[in-house]
Amino acid sequence: SAEGIRAPDFRRIRAGEMPEEAWDAILFVDVLYLIPAPEQERLLRAAARAIAPGGTLLVKEVAHRPRAKALWNRVQETVSVRLFRITAGRRLRFLSPEKHAGWLESEGLEVERVKLDRGYAHPHHLLVARRPPARGA
């Protein structure tokens, strides 16, 4: 092990909960669209507040644009969620990356928006939200 590098501490918490202490990184991958918009906002804001100075919050989701890709994604997810029940959930709630980014920015994070859909049938996107380092760090 390299000196000065800590081993990562991975924890799985119950649905809807957020860690109480500050975290260097928090990751959401393709889960927000399965919960109501107010709960998406609550979780993202709580996660943003849990990010330590210099830490990063990653949100990988599927956007609602471009329309053709979003339509294809909606069809596929509807079949997965409602027909085959491969994915747990009842309704699909795809919010714009701008909406998610706005909540994170209002909690003091600097947000970079990354489109990941080139070459894919789905409108993947990534938000890389960083808490600025503490002064003097």
What's the whole-model pTM score? Answer: 0.83
Q: How many CA atoms lie within 13 A of 128 on its CB side?
A: 6
Mean of pLDDT values over 64-80:
83
Q: What is the pLDDT of residues 9-54, one digit of tens each?
A: 777 777 777 777 899 999 999 999 999 999 999 999 999 999 999 9
- pLDDT above 80: residue 85: no
Of 66, 76, 64, 62, the closest CA to residue 126 belongs to 62
pLDDT value of residue 76? 84
94 φ, ψ to 5°?
-85, 115
Percentage of the chain exceeding pLDDT 90: 52
* pLDDT for 2 beyond 70: no
What pLDDT is recorded for position 83? 75
pLDDT at 67 over 80: yes
Q: What is the C-alpha separation between 98 and 50, in angstroms, rounded?
A: 21
Separation in Å, CA 94 to CA 33, 73, 127, 136: 5, 10, 15, 40
